[in-house]
């Protein structure tokens, strides 16, 4: 069995590289290929497993405490099967190491096992908690937020959004100047308005428990208050909002799954027959309050003819995503993580468990006017080479090429010219090394690609000058 990356490179030595992007956001789903040798009797079956509870394969697959499982079937002639692999995000720093195991069984009962190293490249960095969103529990009449777990999960979900936000430069809101709507705890229909008791800068978010006949939660920005101001100008963003948490759980009265640990992300699918994951639902509803709601004029402006019109979102998705009356991107799948985007959490190609922020959300935050921090999922791919690199025949050449950003691992190739005899390109780092055996001048073009298959390759040019010994 030979495991290959999307460029066809044999991963026996390098193993599989996954990335845990900065922050709590759905990570890239890496495309892999498992080839069977010519002598393997077909049909054959391979059972893939990996020994990490946050690892996952694309569907159809299983996930759980001892890691994911996926079956690949090789029927009549096909000796190659594709699958994807990703790691569920966490917020902690540190690379992680796992093992991918493939157990082959052929039609004539032969069995074989192969293993590869799986390395998770961690890009998390500790950040001071942003004080942008101020959570206010004072309007909760149900007692739901007396439970410290409910408050912790709510605040974690807030923090997972605001992690990606830079300082907004918003002007302070004086006490009594912002108005929000608070529901009666038994209905979506009636309620009253409240004013902010004290001054704040940022977003004032009321967290309210409700128990309504619809048995669902909700989130909205305030259309009775004012707009955020920056540099003396009003923006298209509201300054407050409300998240309503149905205290009996969403839809089915089975209560909530109050899991806080990322290692237990797989417990709830938010499906009909089980308690829904509270983190997933409040994280979604907070998204409505911050941006996905038409009472934000900036969001309303993006919605035209049932689609979102925003350049960066169109460039990322290859089209303008459809949006429905609930402000959901109901059929969009994030192209890198293959996870359903906001409002399409039951879609996508990956196991549908805890709902995750996707890169689409970051681009949407930016499109409505929030300032983002330069976190790694947004980092452009870059290659930097010296204009001239000098060496001598018979002496070790070292020509440093710097590749950064994008989604590692990289694939570098010579796109123009030919390397001097004795000099080799490291196709993962771009490094040129070796002992040249002939003098001369060589004009070389290098080209790098990363884990985003739709990103155009980046190029660099350099001259190698090899002198006489």
Q: How far is the CB of 376 from Ca ion (least distance, A)?
A: 9
A 10 A CB-CB count for 328 gives 20
At closest approach, how far in Å is the CB of 354 from Ca ion? 14
**Of 122 and 246, which CB lies nearer to Ca ion in the complex structure?**
122
Beta bridge partners of 205: 135, 241
Give 89 or 340: the residue with its C-beta nearer to Ca ion. 89
- Is the distance from CB of 114 to CB of 59 less than 8 angstroms? no
Cα–Cα distance measured from residue 335 to residue 453, given in angstroms and rounded to the nearest whole number: 9
Shortest distance (Å) from residue 417 CB to Ca ion: 39
Residues 183, 187, 192, CA angle at the centre, nearest 5°? 25
Question: With respect to Ca ion, which residue has the nearer C-beta, 196 or 376?
Answer: 376
Mapped onto helix, strand or coil, the DSSP state of residue 380 is coil
Q: How far is the CB of 95 from Ca ion (least distance, A)?
A: 8
The distance of closest approach from Cβ of residue 31 to Ca ion in the complex, given in angstroms and rounded to an integer, is: 20
Q: Which residues pair with 462 in a beta bridge?
A: 444
Opening angle at CA 387, ends 381 and 393, nearest 5: 120
- Nearest approach in angstroms of CB 375 to Ca ion is 9
Put residue 404 in one of left, alpha, beta given phi > 0 → left and psi -120 to 50 → alpha: beta
With CA atoms as reference, report the closest residue to 223 among 175, 197, 191: 191
CB of 429 vs Ca ion, minimal distance in Å: 23
Beta-bridge mates of residue 414: 446
In whole angstroms, give the CA distance from residue 340 to residue 355.
8
Shorter beta-carbon distance to Ca ion: residue 20 or 334:
20
Contact residues: Ca ion, CB under 5 A:
20, 89-90, 122, 124
Helix (H) or strand (E) holding 106: strand 96-106
Taking the least distance from each CB to Ca ion, the nearer of 88 and 221 is 88
Nearest to 444 by CA among 463, 430, 425, 426: 463
Among 140, 135, 279, 281, smallest CA distance to 203 is for 135
State the Cα–Cα distance between residues 85 and 59, nearest whole angstrom: 10
Q: Minimal CA–CA distance to 247: which of 218, 220, 274?
A: 218
Q: Which is nearer to Ca ion, 123 or 250 (by Cβ)?
A: 123
- C-beta closer to Ca ion: residue 144 or 161: 161
- Toward Ca ion, which CB reaches closer, 23 or 409? 23
Rank residues 90 and 334 by Cβ distance to Ca ion and give the closer one: 90
Tally the C-alpha atoms within 13 A of residue 17's C-alpha that lie toward its C-beta. 19
As measured in angstroms, the least distance from the Cβ of 290 to Ca ion is 20
How far apart, in whole angstroms, are the C-alpha atoms of residue 257 and residue 271? 12
For residue 468, the minimal CB distance to Ca ion (Å) is: 51
Q: Which is nearer to Ca ion, 245 or 375 (CB)?
A: 375
In the complex, minimum distance from the CB of residue 289 to Ca ion, in angstroms, rounded to a whole number: 23
Distance (Å, whole) CA 43 – CA 90:
39
């Amino acid at each position: 069995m030979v495991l290959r990356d999307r460029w066809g490179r044999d991963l026996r030595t390098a193993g599989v590289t996954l990335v845990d992007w900065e922050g709590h956001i759905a990570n890239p789903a890496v495309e892999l290929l498992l080839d069977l040798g010519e002598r393997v009797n077909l049909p054959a079956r391979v059972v893939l497993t990996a020994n990490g509870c946050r690892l996952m394969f694309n569907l159809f697959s299983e996930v759980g405490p001892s890691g994911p499982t996926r079956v690949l079937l090789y029927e009549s002639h096909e000796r190659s099967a594709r699958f994807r692999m990703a790691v569920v995000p966490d917020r902690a720093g540190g690379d992680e190491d796992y093992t991918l195991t493939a157990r082959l069984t052929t039609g004539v009962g032969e069995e074989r096992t192969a293993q590869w190293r799986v390395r998770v490249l961690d890009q998390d960095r500790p950040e001071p908690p942003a004080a942008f969103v101020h959570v206010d529990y004072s309007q909760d009449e149900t007692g739901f937020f007396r439970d410290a777990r409910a408050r912790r999960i709510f605040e974690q979900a807030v923090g997972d959004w605001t992690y990606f936000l830079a300082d907004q430069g918003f002007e302070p809101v004086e006490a009594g100047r912002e108005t929000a709507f608070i529901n009666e705890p038994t209905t979506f229909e009636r309620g009253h308005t409240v004013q902010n008791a004290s001054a704040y800068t940022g977003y004032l978010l009321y967290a309210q428990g409700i128990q309504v006949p619809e048995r669902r939660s909700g989130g909205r920005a305030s259309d009775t208050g004012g707009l955020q101001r920056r540099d003396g100008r009003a923006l298209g963003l509201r300054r407050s909002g409300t998240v309503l948490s149905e205290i009996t759980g969403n839809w089915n009265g089975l209560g909530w799954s109050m899991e806080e640990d990322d290692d237990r992300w797989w417990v709830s699918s938010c499906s009909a027959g089980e308690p829904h994951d509270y983190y997933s639902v409040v994280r979604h509803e907070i998204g409505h309050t911050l941006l996905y709601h038409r009472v934000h004029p900036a969001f309303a402006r993006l919605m035209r003819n049932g689609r979102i019109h925003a350049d960066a979102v169109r460039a990322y998705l290859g089209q303008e995503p459809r949006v429905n009356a609930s402000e959901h991107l109901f059929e969009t799948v994030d192209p890198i993580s293959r996870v359903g985007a906001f409002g399409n959490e039951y879609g996508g190609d990956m196991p549908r468990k805890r709902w995750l922020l996707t890169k689409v959300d970051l681009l949407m935050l930016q499109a409505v006017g929030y300032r983002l921090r330069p976190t790694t999922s947004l980092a452009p791919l870059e290659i930097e080479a010296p204009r001239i690199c000098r060496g001598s025949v018979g002496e070790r050449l070292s020509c440093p090429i710097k590749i950064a950003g994008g989604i590692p691992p990289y694939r570098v190739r010579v796109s123009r010219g030919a390397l001097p005899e004795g000099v080799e390109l490291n196709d993962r780092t771009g490094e040129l090394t070796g002992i040249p055996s002939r003098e001369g001048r060589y004009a070389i073009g290098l080209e790098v690609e990363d884990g985003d298959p739709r990103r155009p390759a980046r190029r660099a040019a350099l001259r190698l000058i090899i002198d006489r010994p």
